[in-house]
């Protein structure tokens, strides 16, 4: 007999998203569905998934074990949000209103607003203020189903304020049940004081900031905005090489507004992920699909910026890309922190099937963070990160819009949201 300290009984449907991971092509359509399933964990690790009879034969509850009756609920893995800009201060609601009057995101950026507005606010904020913002946002994300969240710096754009953001993240990760995966994004933009001296800022990043963030072990990934007017493909390549030498794994904001070839570069340098890709070319699709680089699409950006153009998700899947969906939560292009909504947008805007969207916010999201050995699917030996939803069946997660059906959230074997409330 194996012992369990958490037992979820009789899920009406259990979407496991079990591997092999990453899922590509037709495999993205398989969500590993189980009906009337029992799932149990011990010390945060899944030890059993199966039917009641097998459960009774092989599992025993330890004294004080938590039991949840899920007979009216649908279970699925906690969402993995592989792309967020979590630790920022200030608001861009005024710029949002300018956009509603016809200004575009790039026009605002050219006028010194956009990312620079948030850089000013974030530089002014204290580490404690950023920490409390992160904690509040992580709570909201968790209420909406995220149990693992990547989070980038990139609104400091100098040594002191990048480190402040990353330290706030580190403290948030220690205090909050959600797993936080930290990314250093000092190459998110060119700071205003270096606007006419981009080369000098690149040198500062390479000689000082990258080595210092690495020395302090504040981030696992390095990310960069490869975009017209920001970092060119050649500049990106240099910075990525420096970051790799300093021990970072790589992610790239690629081909978002213009098709510079960031996708091809991501594949070439073996980045863990290439993100955005609204403007990716056929060549870019081919390169990524033949590579191990995850493809991270962010449908809430097209939605939030009201762009006609969307990332070519169907063509990417047909070509064999390891596709996942993330929120890009940030104040300018996606004030969206709900992975449930992102999954729904994956279907409504990018034309994924419901099953593809489910795999894209769970198993393949975990792959994009190279955490797929421990999270993103419900399998024996992985973390007990489970959502229990008040819907009649899993397609209703996409069919029903505009309210939150996530009733309970279990993170690492612990109930962290019960009856829709943070415990
Ligand atoms: O991923 N594209 C660059 N960076 C963010 C937007 C950041 C901002 O506007 O503050 C993004 O969309
Ligand atoms: Fe982003």
pLDDT of amino acid 295: 99
Query: Ligand 1: distance of its center to the CA of 126 in Å?
Result: 22
- Ligand closest in space to the Cα of 82: 2
Closest CA to 8 of 102, 53, 57, 75: 75
Closest CA to 386 of 6, 35, 71: 6
What's the confidence (pLDDT) of residue 101? 97
Determine if ligand 1 sits within 6 Å of the CB of residue 114.
yes
Beta-carbon contacts of residue 112 (< 8 Å; ≥ 6 apart): 192
Task: List all residues 6 or more positions away from 394 whose beta carbon is below 8 Å from its beta carbon.
Answer: 13, 15, 31, 33, 74, 76, 354, 358
Whether the Cβ atoms of residue 372 and residue 366 lie closer than 8 Å to each other: yes
Q: How would you label 108-123 residue by residue, b for 16+ Cβ within 10 Å and e otherwise?
A: bbeeebbbbbbbebbb
Ligand 2 ion: Cβ-proximal residues, 5 Å cutoff: 328
Whether the bond into 299 is cis, omega within 30 of 0: no
Residue of 260, 306, 333 with the most ligand 1 atoms within 8 Å of its CB, for mutation = 333
Q: What is the mean pLDDT of residues 255-276?
A: 98
71-105 confidence digits (pLDDT tens) = 999 999 999 999 999 999 999 999 999 999 999 99
If residue 300 lies in a helix (H) or strand (E), which one and from where to where?
helix 299-304
Separation of alpha carbons 423 and 418, rounded Å:
6
* Mean of pLDDT values over 15-27: 98
Average pLDDT over residues 198-202: 98
The whole-angstrom separation of Cα 55 and Cα 71 is: 15
Note the pLDDT tens digit of each residue in 207-250. Answer: 999 999 999 999 999 999 999 999 999 999 999 999 999 999 99
pLDDT of 59 reads 98
Q: Which two tokens stand for residue 280?
A: 């990716």
**DSSP secondary structure string, 142-157?**
HHTTEEEEEEE--SS-
95 Cβ closer than 6 Å to some ligand 1 atom = no
The pair phi, psi for residue 334, each rounded to 5°, is: -165, 85
pLDDT of the residue at 380: 98
pLDDT in tens, 355-390: 999 999 999 999 999 999 999 999 999 999 999 999
Backbone angles phi, psi at 65, to 5 degrees: -60, 145
Total Cβ atoms within 10 A of residue 64: 6
Q: Is 153 touching ligand 1 by the criterion CB < 6 Å? A: no
Mean pLDDT for 7-32 is 98
d(CA 101, CA 103): 6
* Paired tokens of 11: 């899920």
């Amino acid at each position: 007999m194996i012992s369990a300290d958490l037992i979820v009984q009789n899920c009406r449907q259990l979407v496991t998203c079990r591997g092999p991971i990453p899922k590509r092509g037709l495999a993205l359509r398989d969500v590993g569905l189980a009906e009337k399933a029992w799932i149990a964990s011990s010390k945060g690790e899944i030890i059993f998934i199966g039917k009641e009879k097998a459960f009774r034969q092989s599992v025993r509850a330890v004294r004080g074990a938590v039991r949840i009756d899920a007979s009216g609920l649908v279970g699925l893995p906690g969402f993995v949000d592989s792309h967020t800009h979590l630790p920022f201060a200030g608001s861009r609601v005024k710029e949002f209103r300018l956009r509603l009057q016809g200004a575009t995101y790039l026009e605002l950026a050219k006028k010194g607003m956009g990312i620079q507005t948030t850089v000013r606010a974030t530089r002014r904020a204290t580490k404690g203020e950023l920490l409390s913002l992160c904690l509040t946002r992580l709570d909201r994300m968790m209420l909406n189903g995220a149990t693992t969240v990547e989070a980038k710096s990139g609104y400091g754009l100098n040594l002191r304020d990048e480190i402040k953001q990353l330290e706030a993240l580190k403290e948030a990760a220690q205090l909050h049940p959600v797993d936080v995966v930290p990314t250093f994004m000092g190459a998110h933009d060119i700071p205003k004081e270096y606007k006419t001296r981009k080369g000098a800022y690149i040198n500062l990043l390479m000689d000082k900031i990258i080595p210092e963030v690495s020395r302090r072990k504040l981030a696992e990934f390095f990310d960069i905005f490869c975009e017209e007017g920001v970092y060119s493909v050649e500049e990106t390549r240099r910075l990525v090489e420096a970051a790799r030498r300093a021990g970072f794994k790589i992610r790239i904001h690629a081909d978002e507004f213009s098709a510079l070839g960031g996708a091809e570069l991501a594949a070439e340098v073996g980045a863990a992920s290439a993100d955005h890709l609204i403007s990716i070319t056929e060549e870019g699709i081919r390169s990524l699909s033949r590579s191990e680089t995850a493809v991270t699409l962010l449908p809430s950006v097209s939605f939030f910026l009201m762009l006609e153009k969307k990332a070519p998700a169907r063509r990417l899947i047909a070509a064999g890309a390891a596709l996942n969906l993330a929120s890009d939560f940030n104040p300018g292009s996606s004030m969206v922190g709900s992975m449930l909504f992102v999954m729904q947008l994956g279907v409504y805007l990018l034309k994924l099937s419901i099953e593809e969207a489910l795999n894209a916010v769970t198993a393949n999201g975990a792959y994009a963070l190279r955490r797929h050995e421990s999270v993103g699917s419900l399998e024996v030996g992985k973390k007990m990160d489970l959502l229990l939803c008040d819907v009649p069946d899993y397609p209703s997660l996409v069919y029903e819009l505009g309210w939150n059906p996530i009733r309970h959230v279990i993170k690492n074997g612990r109930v962290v949201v019960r009856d829709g409330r943070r415990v």
